[in-house]
Amino acid sequence: MPEYAYKARNAQGGLVEGVLNCADRAVAIRQIEQQNCIPIRIEPIAARPKANGTSAAPGSARTFVPKIFSRPAETAAEAPARTLKIPYSQLLVFTEQLAHLIQAGMTLDEALGVLQKRLKHERVQELTRSLHRSLVDGRSFSQALREFPRIFSPLYVNLVAAGEASGALAEILMRLVKHLMQAKSLRDRVQQALIYPAFLAFAGAVLITVFITFMVPQLTQFMSQNGGSMPLPTRILMSVHHLITTWWWLGILLALGALAGWRAYVRSDEGRTTWDRIRLKIPGYGRVIRHRYYAQFSRTLGTLTENGIPLLRSLDLVSEIADNRFIEKKLAEVRRAVVDGAHLSAALAAEKMFPDLLTDMMAVGEQTGHFAQTMMTIADVYERELDRTVTITSSLIAPAIIVVIAVVVGFVVYSILSAVFEMTHSLQFRAR
């Protein structure tokens, strides 16, 4: 029976080497996976003669004790900070194709080699080369991913580590693909809903600038040639024009100074926490942020717990993806309460940072033992609510911008017409 030498990674992260007697390579992969190991490399061994010159009898088994290697120590020189970045769409393609190749029976070593040839994106090829090199050097796949923090989030790396420990890496990768696609769809829906209001705001700003910059000078020149007093709206408009054309540099300096001061304030812990708390309360915008995080929190927590990540570690990860210092501090309080023995739903309800519907549904999931499935259901609920909120908010933004533009343009037109009427009245008076 053929012999296959293999390298694999066990649940503790150690490197295992051994030899298997089996019918073919696919059987060897299944035997390795049954031992909760992730195969890295499997190579056939050519039949070797015995000492007396005869070959080993077919079907004879060899007793082999696997060798366990500790993880190599990483020094600062061996693990430099990586700044490589790839598009989100390429990350999706990489993860999905890697999962398919492993499901088809390839080892990690072979799958990465295939992806290096198949994926034509230059930075993705560089990524696959580096990951392949790390596997050959003895690192686990999750360790190799940690060297690219700008590509693989802590959530991604921890799920891969859970897949390595459970021997279900392909399944974990497919779940990651689903999670990444849902997160991308959520972000795209929010961005697309805001494109039209942003275009309206830009067009309105350009229109108002053209009125004040080109129409007002002509009006001023015409009035100075014909004399006469100007009404108050016209004088206000001409003062605005004078301020913009004469002191524009001061306005730029003030804007830059205000921006620098604002950035310095939000970089401080207290300033960032205050601003993040205010953002959550802004009408319309704050509701979108809150519902987006409710959906993101629920789906991520459900995905993590479904794949065997401990609850406390899962809370750390959902705190990292919050991108909101106020929420992070609240979740730190929640984590301390969970450590002290409180249920997660009760700890969240005590902080009053999540709606009652979410915490009540979570409590039901905790009591029934279907926590992960319940969190996925909660995520579906708040994604639908987010869609509705984004639709309503974006539909209100456009009319509000149109009203503001109409008021400003109407004031400019009224200022011009009132000046014309005043001048006409003055000319008629002089003619008499």
- pLDDT tens-digit series, residues 318-345: 887 777 889 889 999 999 999 988 899 9
User: Which pLDDT score, from 0 to 100, does residue 65 have?
Assistant: 38
Give the pLDDT confidence of 116-167 residue by residue, as tens digits: 888 888 888 888 888 888 887 778 888 888 888 888 888 788 778 777 766 6
Residues of the chain with pLDDT under 70: 11-14, 46-82, 165-167, 219-220, 222-229, 426-432
Structure tokens at 346: 């009760």
The H or E element that residue 67 is part of is strand 67-69
What are residue 15's phi and psi, to 5 degrees? -90, 130
Q: What is the pTM of this model?
A: 0.61
Q: Residue 30 CB: number of other CB atoms within 10 A?
A: 12
CA 394, CA 412: separation in Å to the nearest integer? 27
| Amino acid type, 361 | M
Residue 99 burial (C-beta neighbours within 10 Å; 0-12, 13-18, 19+): buried
Cα atoms in the 13 Å half-sphere on the side-chain side of 415: 24
What are residue 61's phi and psi, to 5 degrees? -95, 150
User: Which pLDDT score, from 0 to 100, does residue 363 have?
Assistant: 92
CA 273, CA 291: separation in Å to the nearest integer? 19
Helix-helix angle 285-306:169-210, to 10 degrees: 170
User: Which pLDDT score, from 0 to 100, does residue 81 have?
Assistant: 40
Please give the angle made by the CA atoms of 215, 216 and 222, to the nearest 5 degrees: 95
User: Which pLDDT score, from 0 to 100, does residue 258 have?
Assistant: 94
User: Which pLDDT score, from 0 to 100, does residue 308 have?
Assistant: 78
User: Which pLDDT score, from 0 to 100, does residue 72 have?
Assistant: 43
Please give the angle made by the CA atoms of 351, 357 and 363, to the nearest 5 degrees: 75
